[in-house]
Amino acid sequence: MIQEVKVTGNRIGVLIGKGGATKKDLEDRTKTIVSVDSKEGVVRVEGDDAPLVLRAVEVVQAINRGFSPERAFVLLDDEDLLIDIIDLSGLTDSPRQLERLRGRIIGKDGRSREQIEHMTDCEISVFGKTVALIGLPEQIKVAHSAIEMLLQGLPHEVVYGFLERKRREAKQNIIDYYY
């Protein structure tokens, strides 16, 4: 099986890693061959095991969307983890407006992003015109909703209240499940 992914020029070096270490680690962990055309920005992933090839592609996409290799590699630790990418480019036509939206998600000194990560157990990367999430399906759904609320202009306190409510519901569901 062969899959190709386009990677932005400034993320190629991150994907390859120092002395090719990141690329080699990805190949070893997914039993794939990863070829990088740094001029065209095309990454080709080849392998016999389709699920591992697709997982390797997801790791490449995560790195391309701003995750560090360490954070992207969590996708290899749990087959239930997903990557979700929210495209911000359709929400605005001016660079200034895009910066404002990104700033709402990131928050002062990154606190808003950290808070959403902490309350949903998702990894979040705000990079370029996208917001990428890595987590379990239910966690991603909640984090995605929180980000949508911020993009709509709701106050951060309202969003944190929503996240707290969702966290309590999740805990209650676990308790109900076991008792």
DSSP structure class, residue 49:
-
Asked if pLDDT for residue 175 goes beyond 90, the answer is no
Asked if pLDDT for residue 177 goes beyond 80, the answer is no
What are the structural domains of the chain? 2-76 (3.30.1370.10), 82-178 (3.30.1370.10)
C-alpha–C-alpha distance, residues 66 and 110, integer Å: 15
Is the distance from CB of 72 to CB of 59 less than 8 angstroms? yes
DSSP structure class, residue 23:
H
C-alpha–C-alpha distance, residues 149 and 158, integer Å: 9
Question: Each residue of 65-114: pLDDT tens digit?
Answer: 999 999 999 999 999 999 999 999 888 888 899 999 999 999 999 999 99
Asked if pLDDT for residue 173 goes beyond 90, the answer is no
Q: Rounded to a whole number, what is the distance in angstroms from the first to the last CA of the chain?
A: 45
pTM of the model: 0.88
Question: Each residue of 104-157: pLDDT tens digit?
Answer: 999 999 999 999 999 999 999 999 999 999 999 999 999 999 999 999 999 999
C-alpha–C-alpha distance, residues 179 and 175, integer Å: 6
> Would you state the structure tokens that stand for residue 110, as one six-digit string?
């990154």
C-alpha–C-alpha distance, residues 69 and 16, integer Å: 10
DSSP structure class, residue 74:
G
C-alpha–C-alpha distance, residues 15 and 31, integer Å: 16
Under 8 Å CB-to-CB from 97, ≥6 apart: which residues?
91
